[in-house]
Amino acid sequence: MEQTQSVGSKRTYYISIAILAAMFFIFGFVSWVNSILIPYFRISCELSHFESYLVAFAFYIAYFVMAVPSGILLKKVGFKRGIMYGFMCMALGAFIFVPAALVREFEVFLLGLFSIGTGLAILQTAANPYVTIIGPIESAARRISIMGICNKFAGIISPLVFAALILKASDKELFALIESGTLDAAAQAAMLDELIRRVIVPYALLGVILLAAGIGIRYSVLPEINTDEQNADESAAEGETAKKSIFAYPYLILGVLAIFFHVGTQVIAIDTIINYANSMNIDLLEAKVFPSYTLGCTMLGYILGIILIPKYLSQKNALICCTVLGLLISFGVVFADFEMTFLGHTANASIFLLCLLGFPNALIYAGIWPLSIRGLGKHTKTGSSLLIMGLCGNALLPLVYSYFAEMSTLRLGYWTLIPCFLYLVFFAVKGHKINSWR
């Protein structure tokens, strides 16, 4: 009861956890469908590989642009009302897909994706500190792992659900015909129009669900929390003067960079994998399961985190282990250049290591967040906004990957992962301990 004193009764605490888990499920369902949207738009909107990754860019750059305004909004209207506004913004983005599909304009789709990303920026700015502070900071990684399971389970099923709704068994021949270049312009345009308009019903339905979720949470028992009091600066508690500027917390700024590199590696491993499979002559209908493999490995990592942290393994040591393992697997992705058959797929071994990268990535985010936000006190909301800005790594690093992939090969483009994990190892070992720029 003592652990939940700050948020009311134990019953309210568990209901709050359940509501937050449902929110993270929605986050995952909406976010990870990008892994199939990227190759789908590449075909239906006739894009290059680089252009197709603008899907991830438009979606995640909203975190950078809107994170600080999201923090300001939450300070002004509170968490619950802010969450409702976030869901409304996501619903607007889903509804924008309808006219975008009718005119088959990729730029309008990007506007819809940016709107969805803006809503998610508001929700993430609210939800992450909520999960961190709603219980003891020492077990925050466990709670984040629970939320991560909900997020990644949604990520496993969302590409499969989306594929079931928009793809047909005969599409393999359709895709081959479209990409063959043998059709006249009118016939090809008609086929592409029919293909892209399949997103109208799923996204219109998604918009309705998001609206209902926002209104439901606004009037739920989810309590408002005072992050200024519940994440107080430890130095101030000891009689020292609390730091006046958010930039006086080096471990927070280094944590923002860590979030940037971590989420970038995560989205590279998931959102590029279908195109990578396509390069091995694996068609979209078969390749659609590869993001689910990666996210399945991530879920396994979360489950281990719940079991081990903090009873058997501290958050800090878990972060060190996962960043080092991620670095080793990244080297494997780059250098494992031989063919193998696994899970019924015959492909380059590097793609299976790319799936395995989901395992260490599970606990990296859960480790970075509590180590970066600890003791911020009155700066907690602003600090959370900065950490959410770090999620723009999802937008920028896939473009870096695609640039190098088009210059060399898709496999060698994964060299992008190496410097990212090197920095993450630094943060896990040293960066989170730095309390002064001196």
Phi, psi of 342 (to 5 degrees): -150, 135
Reported as a single tens digit per residue, the pLDDT across 278-292 is 889 888 788 888 988
Q: Is the pLDDT of residue 138 over 70?
A: no
Backbone φ, ψ for residue 223 (5° rounding): -80, 155
Q: Is 347 helix (H, G, I), strand (E, B) or coil?
A: strand
Domain boundaries, the chain: 10-220+237-433
Single-letter code of the amino acid located at 90? M
**Amino acid letter, 251:** Y
Contact 29, 123 (CB under 8 A): no
Phi then psi for residue 346, to 5 deg, are -105, 115
Chain centre to alpha carbon of residue 309: 22
pLDDT reported for residue 225:
64
What pLDDT shows up at residue 241? 45
Tokens of 390: 């770090």
pLDDT above 90: residue 248: no
Between 74 and 404, residue with greater pLDDT: 404
Q: Which residues contact 197 (CB under 8 A, 6 or more apart)?
A: 101, 102
> For residue 4, what pLDDT is reported?
39
Give the tokens for residue 303.
């489950």
Q: Please tell me which residue, 8 or 363, carries the higher pLDDT value.
A: 363
For residue 55, CA distances in Å to 8, 45, 244, 286 come to: 41, 12, 39, 21
Tokens encoding 404: 């190098």
Average pLDDT of the chain to the nearest whole number: 84
Please tell me the pTM assigned to this model.
Answer: 0.75
Containing H/E element for 348?
strand 345-348
Q: Which of 160-174, 316-330, 405-419 has the lowest mean pLDDT?
A: 160-174
Residue 429 · residue 324 · CB < 8 Å: no
Q: How far apart are CA 331 and CA 116, in angstroms?
A: 34
Percentage of the chain modeled with pLDDT above 90: 32
Instruction: Select 10-220+237-433's CATH number: 2.40.110.10, 1.20.1250.20, 1.10.645.10, 3.30.930.10.
Output: 1.20.1250.20
Cite the DSSP H helix spans in 181-249: 185-196, 200-218, 227-230, 234-237
Tokens of 12: 């309210």
DSSP state of 357: T
Estimate the share of the chain in helix, then strand, then coil, as percent rounded to the nearest 5. Answer: 80, 0, 15
Which range of 61-65, 141-145, 255-259, 405-409 scores highest in mean pLDDT? It is: 255-259
